[in-house]
Amino acid sequence: MTHYPLRDDIFSDDVAQEPTRAGFGRGLKKAGEANESIVALCADLTESTQMHHFKEAFPERFVEIGVAEQNLVTVASGLARAGKIPFTSSYAAFSPGRNWEQIRTTATLNEQPVKIVGSHAGVSVGPDGATHQMLEDIALMRVLPRMVVVIPGDAVEAEKATQLIAENGSPTYLRLAREKTPIFSTDESPFEIGKAYVLREGHDISLFGTGTMSYQLLKAAKLLEEHGISAEVVHVPTIKPLDEATLLKSARKTGRVVTAEEAQVAAGFGSAVAELLSEQLPTPLKRIGMYDRFGESGAPNELLDYFGLTGEKMMPVIQEFINTTAQYHREG
């Protein structure tokens, strides 16, 4: 198993926090320094999506598209045909929310390495409300053949992920969040596209998280420990391709699985895990996320709490799941 160093202050009240989009902004500039074919396109949200760092460093490689998300991805497809590696950014509600067909036809079917960077995903966008709280993007992107789907867990990982997807040669979706979230990984923590990482070992239940929910699962695991439950936490920053081996190994070990995502559970990350388990290792599964409903206005942390997406709210749900479910496939 790959050793995954965690920061040592993750449960302190003054845990270091930063939005994942900030890591993207730094990563894109670094990727641009390393490869002059990298170009960036934005739909009138340059600072908000943190593309301004790249724009300031490489003004000749930045293209302002205006509020036109269909054009955003199709112009990018053309730039890719001319040999560029285009990063496109907007809010996830608009891209890939509005331009799915253009992504399908001109990026994936056309096999061009267009990067779709969906910022401000999830309910934690906060007061802007449901229109801007994108919850269906994982589903939209993971059904597309050839599309790689990456959801970094924190800003440090987002910076690494951005540099790696720049060079992966594939159309790729990078899902980012607006709000500051705790940083749990370190510069030394591993990140590879397509890999899941065991953040904490346990034997009673497996908790699979994607994006910033992995931190909430670490918190839930700590609370469960106080109740005598040993939870294994697996961070899954790549949803497609899914690291099946790591997930199956953990599920086989603990015999129960919980998933957590700040998105619709329908067709999202939890569904990807359900598909895997039901075909290869039927295992009791509880999915935490949004159940067939939209978000609403509120403060970010208030909304995460309201929708049960914090470690504190997840803990009793997981406990109840354990109490009412038999363990399957337990080894030893």
In the complex with other proteins, the residue whose CB is nearer, 144 or 221, is: 144
- What residues contact residue 114 under an 8 Å CB cut-off, 6+ apart? 73, 76, 77, 80, 86, 88, 103, 106, 107, 171
Residue 148: HSE in the Cβ half-sphere, 13 Å Cα cutoff: 26
Secondary structure class of 102 (helix, strand, coil): helix
Whether 18 is catalytic: no
Smallest distance from other proteins to CB 43, Å: 10
- Asked if 105 interacts with other proteins (CB under 8 A), we say yes
- Asked if 102 interacts with other proteins (CB under 8 A), we say yes
Number of residues that bind other proteins (CB under 8 A): 28
How many angstroms separate the Cα of 219 from the Cα of each of 8, 153, 264, 287? 13, 14, 22, 17
Which among 55-63, 135-143, 199-207, 267-275 is the span making contact with other proteins, rule CB under 8 A? Answer: 55-63
In the complex with other proteins, the residue whose CB is nearer, 98 or 222, is: 98
Of the residues 90, 95, 106, 238, which one makes contact with other proteins according to CB under 8 A: 106
Catalytic residue among 36, 64, 69, 331: 69
Distance CA 239, CA 237 (A): 6
- Asked if 71 interacts with other proteins (CB under 8 A), we say yes
Q: Are 169 and 41 in contact (CB under 8 A)?
A: no
In the complex with other proteins, the residue whose CB is nearer, 77 or 163, is: 77
Smallest distance from other proteins to CB 146, Å: 10
In the complex with other proteins, the residue whose CB is nearer, 62 or 191, is: 62
Q: What are the structure tokens assigned to 98, written together?
A: 């509005």
In the complex with other proteins, the residue whose CB is nearer, 110 or 168, is: 110
Site residues for other proteins, 72-101, by CB under 8 A, read 74-84, 86, 101
Between CA 76 and CA 45, with CA 178 as vertex, the angle to 5 degrees is 40
- Asked if 259 interacts with other proteins (CB under 8 A), we say no
Secondary structure class of 220 (helix, strand, coil): helix
- Asked if 70 interacts with other proteins (CB under 8 A), we say yes
- Asked if 61 interacts with other proteins (CB under 8 A), we say yes
Sign of the four-CA dihedral 299, 302, 303, 309:
positive
Of the residues 60, 187, 279, 331, which one makes contact with other proteins according to CB under 8 A: 60
In the complex with other proteins, the residue whose CB is nearer, 55 or 175, is: 55
- Asked if 63 interacts with other proteins (CB under 8 A), we say yes
Smallest distance from other proteins to CB 78, Å: 2
How many residues can be counted in the chain?
Answer: 332
Task: Identify any residues that bridge with 290 across adjacent strands, giving them in sequence order.
Answer: 264
Site residues for other proteins, 20-49, by CB under 8 A, read 39
Smallest distance from other proteins to CB 88, Å: 11
Of the residues 44, 111, 192, 244, which one makes contact with other proteins according to CB under 8 A: 111
Distance CA 64, CA 49 (A): 13
Helices (H), the chain: 20-34, 52-57, 69-81, 100-102, 137-142, 155-165, 213-226, 244-254, 269-280, 300-306, 311-324
Smallest distance from other proteins to CB 141, Å: 18
- What residues contact residue 283 under an 8 Å CB cut-off, 6+ apart? 251, 255, 256, 257, 277, 328, 329
Q: Are 159 and 27 in contact (CB under 8 A)?
A: yes
In the complex with other proteins, the residue whose CB is nearer, 114 or 285, is: 114
Which stretches of the chain bind other proteins, using CB under 8 A? 39, 60-61, 63, 65-66, 68, 70-71, 74-84, 86, 101-102, 105-106, 109-111
Catalytic center residues: 69
